[in-house]
């Protein structure tokens, strides 16, 4: 994930470096092979021209990245460019901090309006705010189902579940010594899983204008009761640790795990050679298959001089080019941003079926609400989802309390 740092030369002042190049300083919260791939793209860009220097600085995590960027923005010296989760972009736009990148389409060595048509429609849905192109797709992902083929064979199962009803039927078959169907874990990501189920049961998370909670409905109750019933039957684990889902799946204790393609490298490391993993779409509900999207778009701040903004957009254009997007996708398993990237990676996806599952599921993707308060909302909701699954609150009480807290947050 990219972020820009608070280097004065790259932000408010737009000073050039000793060589006369404009400095665009960007940071990253990525690690491992993804960070390596990003560095290679930056080095390639710097070597490709003589007017701009891009520099990377690593942040330890996304929360720090957001906090630092907000501080810089409030000081009037934000970074040149940054990743923008939809809720982050809403916060930045609320204080008029973002540049409309459509004004730069077609400038020298930059994306054109024709290029924009090549971007995947599912990824473009949350890139505009108030009709302005304030973000572009960068490192997006979506949820799908990982499953343990060894435990499936032991249970006499040959295929993954295609509906949530079938998921529950399968769950009884995995209740053997030290293994369960899945893990309900204490993490905002679990809210994303539940959100996807609410849509698949025919419901909504917020009202259309995103001013009130809409999840306290029959669909929301059915989606939560699904996990409550499995927990009561002791067919799923209920864990307090945010990382429990991945760890328990990797240890071979759970047969199924809902996560995204960018978790693949960590899952492989955790699983090792213990068993073979496979992937499938999220199960369908009565209203169909839905999967909530995660990850970030990328945005350009408007406080720097125009020449710095244009330099930043030129790097964004390079980063999101078909070839470089392909390099980044292969290293990270993030979703490809462009149709041309998907075509270029045809052989890669033929040999890597798990990331290919995510690509196929883009047709079923929904974005989380594009409001600044969304992280605060998910933190409030997960408390009550977990309380219901643990048996500390009824389904009705949990959603009543969550609804009230969410509406209070939205009123602020």
- For the segment 265-322, what is each residue's pLDDT rounded down to a tens digit? 889 999 999 999 999 999 999 999 999 999 999 999 999 899 999 999 999 999 999 9
How far apart, in whole angstroms, are the C-alpha atoms of residue 252 and residue 275? 8
Of the candidates 396, 373, 392, 371, the one whose C-alpha atom is nearest the C-alpha of residue 383 is 392
- The radius of gyration of the chain from alpha carbons, rounded to an integer in Å, stands at 22
229 and 300 housed in the same domain: no
235 and 171 housed in the same domain: yes
Helix (H, G, I), strand (E, B), or coil: what is residue 282?
A: coil
60 and 112 housed in the same domain: yes
| pLDDT reported for residue 18 | 66
- Average pLDDT estimate for 21-25: 89
Give φ, ψ of 262 to 5 degrees: -75, -10
Reported pTM = 0.91
Give φ, ψ of 274 to 5 degrees: -70, -35
> The domain containing residue 379 runs over which residues?
142-292+367-411
- For the segment 374-405, what is each residue's pLDDT rounded down to a tens digit? 999 999 999 999 999 999 999 999 999 999 99
77, pLDDT greater than 50? yes
Query: 237: Cβ–Cβ under 8 A, 6 or more apart, which residues?
Result: 180, 182, 183, 184, 244, 248, 253, 254
226 and 372 housed in the same domain: yes
134 and 46 housed in the same domain: yes
Strands 132-133 and 128-129: antiparallel
Helix (H, G, I), strand (E, B), or coil: what is residue 16?
A: strand
What are the residues facing 237 on neighbouring strands? 183
Confidence of residue 78 (pLDDT cuts 50, 70, 90): confident
Number of domains present in the structure of the chain: 2
| pLDDT reported for residue 110 | 96
What's the distance, CA 133 to chain centroid?
A: 19
50 and 117 housed in the same domain: yes
Q: Is the Cβ–Cβ distance between 357 and 144 less than 8 Å? A: yes
Output DSSP code: residue 334. P
250 and 383 housed in the same domain: yes
3-state SS string for 168-234: HHHHHHHCECCEECEEEECCHHHHHHHHHHHHHCCCCCECCCCCCECCCCHHHHHHHHHHHHHHHCC
């Amino acid at each position: 994930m990219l972020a820009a740092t608070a280097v004065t030369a790259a932000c408010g002042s737009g000073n050039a470096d000793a060589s006369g190049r404009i400095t665009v300083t960007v940071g990253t919260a990525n690690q491992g092979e993804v960070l390596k791939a990003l560095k290679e793209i930056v080095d390639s860009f710097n070597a490709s021209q003589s007017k701009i220097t891009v520099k990377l600085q690593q942040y330890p995590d996304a929360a720090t990245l957001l906090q630092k960027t907000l501080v810089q923005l409030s000081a009037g010296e934000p970074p040149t460019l940054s990743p923008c989760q939809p809720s982050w972009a809403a916060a930045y736009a609320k204080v008029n901090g973002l540049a409309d990148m459509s004004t730069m389409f077609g400038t020298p060595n930059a994306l054109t309006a024709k290029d924009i048509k090549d971007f995947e429609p599912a990824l473009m849905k949350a890139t505009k705010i108030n009709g302005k192109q304030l973000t572009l797709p960068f490192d997006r992902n979506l949820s799908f189902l990982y499953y343990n083929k060894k435990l499936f064979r032991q249970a006499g199962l040959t295929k993954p579940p295609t509906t949530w009803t079938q998921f529950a039927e399968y769950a009884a078959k995995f209740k053997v010594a030290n293994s369960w169907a899945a893990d309900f874990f204490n993490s905002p990501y679990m809210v994303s899983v539940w959100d996807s189920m609410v849509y698949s049961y025919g419901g909504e998370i917020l009202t259309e204008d995103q001013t009130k909670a809409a999840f306290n409905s029959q669909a929301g109750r059915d989606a939560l009761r699904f996990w409550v019933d499995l927990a009561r039957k002791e067919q799923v684990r209920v864990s307090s640790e945010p990382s429990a889902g991945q760890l328990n799946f990797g240890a071979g204790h759970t047969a199924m795990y809902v996560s995204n393609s960018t978790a693949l490298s960590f899952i492989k490391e955790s699983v090792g050679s213990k068993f073979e993993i496979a992937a499938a779409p999220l199960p369908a509900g009565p209203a169909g298959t839905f999967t909530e999207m995660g990850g970030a778009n990328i945005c350009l701040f408007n406080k720097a001089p125009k020449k710095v903004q244009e330099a930043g957009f030129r790097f964004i254009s390079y980063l999101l080019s078909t070839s470089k997007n392909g390099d980044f996708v292969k290293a990270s398993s993030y979703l490809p941003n462009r149709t041309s990237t998907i075509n270029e990676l045809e052989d890669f996806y033929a040999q890597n079926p798990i990331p290919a599952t995510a690509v196929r599921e883009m047709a079923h993707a929904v974005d989380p609400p594009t409001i600044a308060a969304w992280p605060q909302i998910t933190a409030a909701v997960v408390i009550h989802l977990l309380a219901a699954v643990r048996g500390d609150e009824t389904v009705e009480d949990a959603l009543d309390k969550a609804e009230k807290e969410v509406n209070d947050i939205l009123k602020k």
